[in-house]
Amino acid sequence: MIPAHDIREVLGHNGDLAPLVDQISEDDNLFDKGLSSFGSVQLMLALEQRFDIEFPDHLLNRRSFSTIRNIRSTLESLLEPSAA
Amino acid sequence: MSTLAQRAGKAATVAALHADAVDRDGRFPEEAMAVLKAERLLGLQIPRQFGGEGAGLTEIAQICCTLGQACSAAAMVFAMHHIKVASLVGHGLDSDWHCRLMERIAREQLLVASSTTEAGTGGDLRNSICAVETTGDLFSLSKEASVISYGIQADLILATARRHPESPSADQVLVALSRDQVSLERVSRWDTLGMRGTCSDGFRLEARDIPVVQIVPKPFAEIAAQSMLASSHLLWSSVWFGIATFAVDRARAFVQGEARRRAGQVPPTALRLAEVSNALQAMQAAIVTALRRVEDLHGDADALGSIGVSVMLNNLKTSVSDMAVDVVQRALGIVGLAGYKNGTPFSLGRPLRDIMSAPLMIGNDRILANTAKLLLVQKSGGQLMSA
């Protein structure tokens, strides 16, 4: 289980979301909160760096990164095999 | 009932008859539009349960190509209408009001226009300055719409705006406005090099006391990513392919005329024709491949909005728009002065001026810059038959 604050820490460094990160709930849509398409690419890169993973193409869609909950399940789907 | 090709052919025949006048006078292709409506081609994409024919993008693209060979403006108006209808079909099915609207589009053959461009956003459709201002069940909207193609002739306008006056510029919604619900004050005239009949004038758009049910329930960000990107790049490309085909057909007729006059010799221009036919085929292959890839996704929203598909569609637009200009220019090179001159059977001035818009409509540099960002995370497709 990836702690929410690890994901929030990454969001806190995202140009689009940094000022709002404390007000974003688990299921708030990040794109509605102002995450731009470039911001979402920056977020993907930051998550890849922070968790030492690479998102495969089939996960590089809007839904995978639309909420903190979805980001966690996207990350867990990649980290699970090594955890098992 | 005639086949789709026959119905499109009737519209194209009429469009071709008036194409020079539409271009010269910078006027709306009304004769072609009358036939498109009479042949009920504006409701093609609407699902059958709402009185349409449930056509997919491939069928619409084919008609865009047919019309593109006749009148670029009529073809582009048809394409832009169906790009908007694709947004409604893809994202309006959860809303009763928009389902009724789709029924009306099919039954009354309503022409749908788009108001995404706004003064001050630098042509970026994913940002709005204007906002929906809601009071109870009603909203108002004022927009400095620097371009609304065929805004005067449209029956419906789908406009983007920020969700609330406090929303960030990218938190947008799409609202459906009947022509009789808006006032349009023209602020600029579309007097251009080509594509003159799209009548893409600038307006000050005002809408007051509109029921909030007319706001499409999905965020515009999703509509843009999951439907508009695919439909606009695929349908525009198909129009451009039609224009390029028309030019190559004129070049071919010219070369064949030369060959008939000098029996036993291959005219020197035939080599240039071979080259341009090669380029046209590459263009066609790019469009058909992209169409198949999108159709194979069967509306899967996640896949359509994925980075891989976005990169593929961006690449389609930038490459096909450049290829189309190149093909028409080469056709002119083959035909020579007979193509440069207006009023000959080989005239290519109008299609050349029209096609020059292709790399500029959502500028290729803007699209390449977007692709560049996406490539920072995209992984290799690596398969001949998939990506």
DSSP B94-154: T-HHHHHHHHHHHHHT--EEEE---TTTTT-TT--S-B-EEETTEEEEEEEEEEEETTTT-
Identify the domain boundary among B214, B247, B265. Answer: B214
Q: In whole angstroms, give the CA distance from residue B358 to residue B68.
A: 13
Residues in B closer than 8 angstroms to A48, CB to CB, are 377
Q: For residue A84, name the pLDDT band (cuts at 50, 70, 90).
A: very low
Q: In whole angstroms, give the CA distance from residue B384 to residue B274.
A: 27
Instruction: Give the model's pLDDT for residue A15.
Output: 86
Are both B246 and B361 inside the same structural domain?
yes
The residue range of the domain holding B225 is 220-374
Q: In whole angstroms, give the CA distance from residue B182 to residue B141.
A: 9
Smallest CA-to-CA distance from B242 within B19, B3, B2 is with B19
Q: What is the DSSP letter of B227?
A: I
Are both B203 and B254 inside the same structural domain?
no
Find the residue in B nearest to A46 (Cα): B377
Per CATH, the homologous superfamily of domain A4-83 is ACP-like (1.10.1200.10)
pLDDT above 80 for A81: no
Are both B139 and B224 inside the same structural domain?
no
Q: In whole angstroms, give the CA distance from residue B12 to residue B74.
A: 9
By the 10 Å C-beta count (0-12 exposed, 13-18 middle, 19+ buried), B365 is classed as: exposed
Instruction: Give the model's pLDDT for residue B66.
Output: 98
Are both B239 and B359 inside the same structural domain?
yes
The separation between the first and the last C-alpha atoms of chain B, rounded to the nearest angstrom, is: 39
Question: Buried b vs exposed e over B260-290: b needs ≥16 C-beta within 10 Å?
Answer: eeeeeeebebbebbeebeebbeebbebbeeb
Residue B380 lies in a domain: no
Residues 283 through 302 of chain B touching chain A, CB cutoff 8 Å:
301-302
Are both B125 and B207 inside the same structural domain?
yes
Residue B384 lies in a domain: no
Instruction: Give the model's pLDDT for residue A82.
Output: 56
Identify the domain boundary among B67, B92, B110. Answer: B110
pTM: 0.95
Residue B383 lies in a domain: no
By the 10 Å C-beta count (0-12 exposed, 13-18 middle, 19+ buried), B380 is classed as: exposed
Contact assignment for B305 to A61 by CB distance below 8 Å: yes
Q: Chain A to chain B, count of Cβ pairs less than 8 Å apart?
A: 62
Residue B81 lies in a domain: yes
Instruction: Give the model's pLDDT for residue A3.
Output: 78
Q: In whole angstroms, give the CA distance from residue B51 to residue B49.
A: 6
Residues in chain B where the model's pLDDT stays below 70 = 1, 381, 386-387
Are both B149 and B99 inside the same structural domain?
no
Q: Given the DSSP bridges, would you call strands B112-115 and B156-162 parallel, antiparallel or unpaired?
A: parallel
pLDDT above 80 for A55: yes
Min Cα–Cα distance to chain B from A22, Å: 17
Identify the domain boundary among B187, B214, B241. Answer: B214
Instruction: Give the model's pLDDT for residue B168.
Output: 85
Residues in A closer than 8 angstroms to B379, CB to CB, are 54-57, 60
Residues in A closer than 8 angstroms to B314, CB to CB, are none
Are both B151 and B257 inside the same structural domain?
no
Residue B381 lies in a domain: no
User: Is there a contact between B267 and B259 (Cβ–Cβ < 8 Å)?
Assistant: yes
Residue B64 lies in a domain: yes
CA B150 to chain centre: 13
Return the higher-pLDDT residue of A5 and B265.
B265
List chain A domain ranges.
4-83
Count the Cβ atoms, other than its own, within 10 Å of residue B373: 17
Give me the mean pLDDT over the A40-44 stretch.
Answer: 93
Are both B320 and B250 inside the same structural domain?
yes
Are both B123 and B58 inside the same structural domain?
no
Is B124 in the A-facing interface, judged by CB distances under 8 Å? no
Instruction: Give the model's pLDDT for residue B288.
Output: 98
Are both B230 and B369 inside the same structural domain?
yes
Instruction: Give the model's pLDDT for residue B305.
Output: 87
3-class secondary structure, B174 = strand
Residues in A closer than 8 angstroms to B126, CB to CB, are 36-37
Are both B297 and B366 inside the same structural domain?
yes
Q: How many domains does chain B have?
A: 3
pLDDT digits (tens, 9 = 90+) for B359-387: 999 999 999 999 999 999 998 767 787 65
Q: In whole angstroms, give the CA distance from residue B194 to residue B300.
A: 36
Amino acid letter for position B218: K
Helices assigned H by DSSP within chain B:
4-25, 30-38, 57-68, 72-91, 96-108, 220-223, 229-261, 269-296, 301-304, 307-335, 337-340, 349-355, 364-374
pLDDT above 60 for A83: no
Mutate to test the interface with B, among A60, A65, A71 (most CBs of B within 10 A): A60
Residue with tokens 């389902």: B99
* CATH code of the domain in which B66 resides: 1.10.540.10
* CATH code of the domain in which B264 resides: 1.20.140.10
Residue B244 lies in a domain: yes
User: Is there a contact between B238 and B288 (Cβ–Cβ < 8 Å)?
Assistant: no
* CATH code of the domain in which B183 resides: 2.40.110.10
Are both B196 and B123 inside the same structural domain?
yes
Residue B319 lies in a domain: yes
Here the ipTM equals 0.87
Contact assignment for B307 to A61 by CB distance below 8 Å: yes
User: Is there a contact between B144 and B176 (Cβ–Cβ < 8 Å)?
Assistant: no
pLDDT above 50 for A64: yes
Residues whose CB is less than 8 angstroms from the CB of residue B247 and which lie 6 or more positions away in sequence, other chains included: B327, B328, B331, B332, B348, B351, B352, B355
